[in-house]
Amino acid sequence: MSMKEYQYSVDKNDIEDLITFRSTWSVCNVDFIAEEAAQDYWDNCDGWEASWPIKFYIFKERELIGSRIIGIEVEPKFVIKRRVEEGIPNLAIRREEY
């Protein structure tokens, strides 16, 4: 499949500050294009600092083709940190000293 060039803006329908990215999806698959725009925003535009959900406006050749509100699913990672006390071995748990 050939890559197609799209643009998006975040939280505003404004063609002045469009961000360009590439996708294999055709124009009729705006949902998937919007998901890829959200991934691009996360990876390349400090999207991890944003307050989600976010409304993405999707453009093709600077013409609006749709907008979608994209949420984010986060998988938590739990880590045990224990204070290392002198004289008490804790070999079963990977220790981090602090």
Task: Tell me the domain boundaries of the chain.
Answer: 1-98
Tell me: pLDDT of 8 over 70. Answer: yes
pLDDT at 93: 54
Structure tokens at 88: 């008490």
pLDDT in tens, 28-80: 999 999 999 999 999 999 898 999 999 999 999 999 999 999 999 888 888 88
pLDDT tens-digit profile of 81-93? 776 666 666 555 5
Give the number of other Cβ atoms within 10 Å of residue 15's Cβ: 13
Higher pLDDT, 10 or 89: 10
Predicted structure pTM score: 0.73
Local structure of 10: helix, strand or coil? strand
